[in-house]
Amino acid sequence: MMQVSDQVFFPSILLLMLKDFSPGSAVESLEKRIFAAVGSSVLFPAPEIRSHLKIIQWEFINNHPLQLIVEYQLDSSKAIVYGPYKGRVDFNESTGYLLLKNVQKKDNGIYKVVINLEEKKAQKVSLTVIEPVTQPQLRSNLSLDGSTLWLSCDVSGDRITIVWMRNEEPIPPEECYQQSEDQKHLGIINLEKSDCGNFSCNASNEISWRQATLFVTFEGIPAALQQAQKMSAVALMLGVIAALGFVSLCCQSAKPKPGHAASLSQNHNFAKHHRSKRNFFNWNGEEWRYFICFLQATVCLSSGLLFAVTIIWMAQQGVSVFLIFLILALTWVMMVTLTVVVWDPKRLRTFTGRRTIRIILDATAPGGVILVMVLAGFFLMNIRDLEDHIKRRKKKETRNNPPGGEEN
């Protein structure tokens, strides 16, 4: 839901005295600098006029020869306004102040007031005419991978400075926020529920300030669950690969036993049989050992992925006895399969001689494949159901609260 609020300040007669220039600069020193909005009126002050005033002149200095604006002599009846400034200026004869109306960018430059033709005591004022900032328009756009929400502040004007606020406080320079070089775009990285709130774009320059506010709500699954969904899909794919590998082992005329992976290279009869025509792969004993190690590593990797997915799920949805049991089961599968892969075959052979251990080694990897495929499907279905639930709730809220004057 987007709620836009604005505030602006630029009076019709504007006098902003912002900066004094150092008198030692190469150019003539300026006593004051004035910023004004296009179309506004600007009041130029004059030095205090003493009783011995004879003549006062206002001049405009730009990248062309000096141009007189107003000249007033004490013994004359009224001030003389020159050229293009007729009808655009008001001159106060008692104070010497000059009011320039409907200023435009062509009026940018230096204005000088000279009293009694004393150039050394002349006072200069620099005028800069700029466009005020327009009312910002805040728009949101979710990245393709759904992990980053981009807020765009569409605003125009001159010399704009943009400050982003969250809940009326400046956005901290943290890694979870990213701003473009022109400050018009704010990225909320890895959007979570904690990122919800009022985000404001404050646009300002020397003469105006405006603000737009967008209320950010979290309507999708958290970024952590999005990553868990991807990891579950990868684990399922690895589980299918491992399952096909174990099925191929079972289809051989002389079946290698996963639990005997360490002794395959020592079994010459096994190698002889698998060089026969009945061996579809035509592999020797050592090649079969590498293949079985690959299957064990695949089961180990997929179990590790689902171990991480289970931790993420518990962090997002809460802890349960069922999930703790899954953590223990996956840990066991990873330990056994990793042992088969990394241990020296001769050392492993001493354990496989025992029937109980051989049964455990034979059953762990195929059982791990079944566990991986079931668990990956479980997480994928639950995450998908969570997404559907959020979409249905959003549609229901939209029907119950049709958009009115506010922009969604």
Q: What angle is formed at CA 164 by the lines to CA 158 and CA 170, rounded to 5 degrees?
A: 130
The pLDDT value given to residue 146: 56
User: According to the model, what pLDDT value does residue 20 have?
Assistant: 38
d(CA 283, CA 272): 10
Helix-then-strand count for the chain, H and E = 6, 19
pLDDT at 9: 40
Residues 82-121 have pLDDT tens digits of 988 999 999 988 888 999 999 999 999 999 999 888 888 8
Q: Which residues of the chain have pLDDT under 50?
A: 1-29, 253-279, 398, 401-408
Q: What is the pLDDT of residue 3?
A: 42
Q: Among candidates 56, 37, 58, which has minimal Cα distance to 101?
A: 37
In this predicted structure, what is the pLDDT of residue 41? 93
CA distance 82 to 206: 30
Reported pTM: 0.49
Fold of 137-216: Immunoglobulin-like (2.60.40)
Sequence-distant (≥ 6) Cβ neighbours of residue 271 within 8 angstroms: 284, 285, 286
- The fold of the 32-130 domain, in CATH, is Immunoglobulin-like (2.60.40)
pLDDT of res. 253: 43
- CA nearest to 383, candidates 373, 393, 375, 395: 375
| The pLDDT of residue 159 | 92
